Structure 1
Amino acid sequence: MISTPTIRHIAGGIALALFTGLATANPNTDALVTTDWLADNLDRDDLTVIEVSVNPGKFERGHIPGAVNFRWHTDLVDTVRRDIIDRASFQTLLRDAGVSGDDEIVLYGDTNNWFAAWGAWIFDIYGVDSVRLLDGGRDKWEAEGRPLSLRPASHPPGDIEVSEADESIRAFLPEVVEVASREAANTQLVDIRSAAEYEGRIIAPDGVDELSVRAGHIPGAVNVGWGNAVNEDGTFKSADELRAIYAQAGVDGSKPVITYCRIGERSSHTWFALSKILGYDVKNYDGSWTEYGNSVGVPVTNLAGTVWGGQ
Structure 2
Amino acid sequence: MTFPNWIRLGAASVALAAAATAQASPLVSTQWLEQNLQNPQVRVLEVSVDPGVYERGHIPGAANLNWHTDLVDTVNRDIASRDKLQALLRAAGVSEDTTTVLYGDNNNWFAAWGAWVLDVYGVDNVKLLDGGRKKWEAEGLPLATTPGAASAGNVTLKPANEALRARLDEVAQAARAPGSVAIVDIRSPDEYSGKSFAPAGVPELSVRAGHVPGAVNVPWGSLVAADGTFKPVDELRAIYARVGVDGSKPVITYCRIGERSSHSWFALKKLLGYDVRNYDGSWTEYGNTVGVPIENPAGTVWGRT
> Which position in structure 2 is the counterpart of 1:226?
220
| SS at 1:259 equivalent | strand
CA distance in 1, matches of 2:69, 2:79: 10
Q: 1:69 to 1:265 in 2, by over 3 A?
A: same
> Residue 310 of structure 1: CA displacement?
6.0
Secondary structure of the residue that 1:220 maps to in structure 2? coil
Q: Per residue, is there more helix in 1 or in 2?
A: 2
Looking at structure 2, the residues matched to 44 and 208 of structure 1 have their Cα atoms a distance apart, in angstroms, of: 39
In the other structure, the counterpart of 1:157 is: 152
Which blocks of at least 5 consecutive residues in structure 1 are unaligned?
Answer: 1-27
CA distance in structure 2 between the partners assigned to 1:310 and 1:202 by the alignment: 11
The amino acid across from 1:199 in the alignment is: S
Cross-structure match for 2:278 = 284
TM-score, structure 2 as length reference: 0.91
CA separation in 1, counterparts of 2:27 and 2:206?
A: 34
1:93 is the counterpart of 2:56: no
Paired residue for 1:252? Answer: 246
Within 1, Cα distance between the matches of 2:211 and 2:49?
25
Of the three residues 49, 61, 65, the one matched with 2:56 is: 61
Are 2:45 and 2:65, in contact at CA under 8 Å, matched by a contact in 1? yes
- Of 184, 192, 210 in structure 1, the residue corresponding to residue 186 of structure 2 is 192
Separation in 2, partners of 1:153, 1:113: 20
Q: Which amino acid aligns with 2:82?
A: R
Residue in 1 aligned with 2:31?
36
Give me the whole-angstrom Cα distance separating, in 2, the residues matched to 1:281 and 1:212: 28
Aligned residue identity for 2:129? L
Amino acid at match of 2:163: S
Partner of 2:19: none
Task: Give the direction of change, closer, same or farther, for the CA distance of 1:92–1:310 in structure 2 (3 Å limit).
Answer: farther
The separation in 2 between residues aligned to 1:112 and 1:201, in whole angstroms, is 25
> What's the secondary structure of 1:50's corresponding residue?
strand
Q: Is the 8 A contact 1:211 1:290 kept in 2?
A: yes
Unaligned runs of 5+ in 2: 1-22
Alpha-carbon offset, residue 56 of structure 1: 3.4
Structure 1 residue 307 displacement after superposition:
2.9
Name the aligned partner's letter for residue 97 of structure 1: A
- Deviation of residue 173 (structure 1)? 0.5
**1:132 alignment counterpart:** 127
Q: What's the CA shift for 1:195?
A: 0.5
Q: Matches of 2:219 and 2:28 in 1, distance apart?
A: 23
- The 2-side partners of 1:97 and 1:257 are apart by 33
Q: How far did 1:179 drift? A: 0.4
For residues 112-131 of structure 1, the C-alpha deviation after alignment (integer angstroms, 9 at most, x for no partner) is 20000000001100111201
* One-letter amino acid of the structure 2 residue matched with residue 247 of structure 1: A
Q: Which residue of 2 aligns with 1:169?
A: 164
SS at match of 2:56: coil
How far apart in 2 are the matches of 1:97 and 1:36? 23
Instruction: Name the CA shift for 1:237/1:178 in 2 (closer, same or farther; >3 Å).
Output: same
TM-score by length of 1: 0.89
CA 244–29 in structure 1, closer or farther in 2 if over 3 Å, else same: farther
The aligned counterpart of 1:23 is none
CA contact (8 A) 1:192 1:261 kept: yes
- 2:50 is matched by which residue type in structure 1? N
User: In terms of Rg, which structure is larger?
Assistant: 2
Paired residue for 2:235, among 241, 253, 257? Answer: 241
State how far apart, in whole Å, the 2-side matches of 1:129 and 1:257 are. 23
Matched letter for residue 41 of structure 1: N
**Alpha carbons 2:96, 2:124 under 8 Å: kept:** no
**Secondary structure in structure 2 of the residue aligned to 1:174:** helix
Identity score, percent: 65
Provide the rounded CA distance (Å) in 2 between the counterparts of 1:218 and 1:110: 28
- The one-letter code sitting in structure 1 at the alignment partner of 2:131 is G
> In the TM superposition, what is the alpha-carbon distance from 1:29 to its structure 2 partner?
5.8
2:297 paired residue number: 303
* In structure 1, distance between residues paired with 2:119 and 2:51: 25
Amino acid at match of 1:202: S
Contact 1:112-1:136 at 8 Å conserved across structures: yes
Q: Residue deviations 1:219-253, cap 9 Å, x none?
A: 00000110111111110011100001100010000
Amino acid in structure 2 at the alignment position of 1:210: E
**Structure 1 Cα separation of the partners of residues 52 and 210 of structure 2:** 34
- Find the counterpart in structure 2 of residue 24 from structure 1: none
The whole-number CA distance in structure 2 between the counterparts of 1:210 and 1:90 is 24
The one-letter amino acid of 1:204's match is A
Opposite residue 39 of structure 2, the aligned amino acid is R
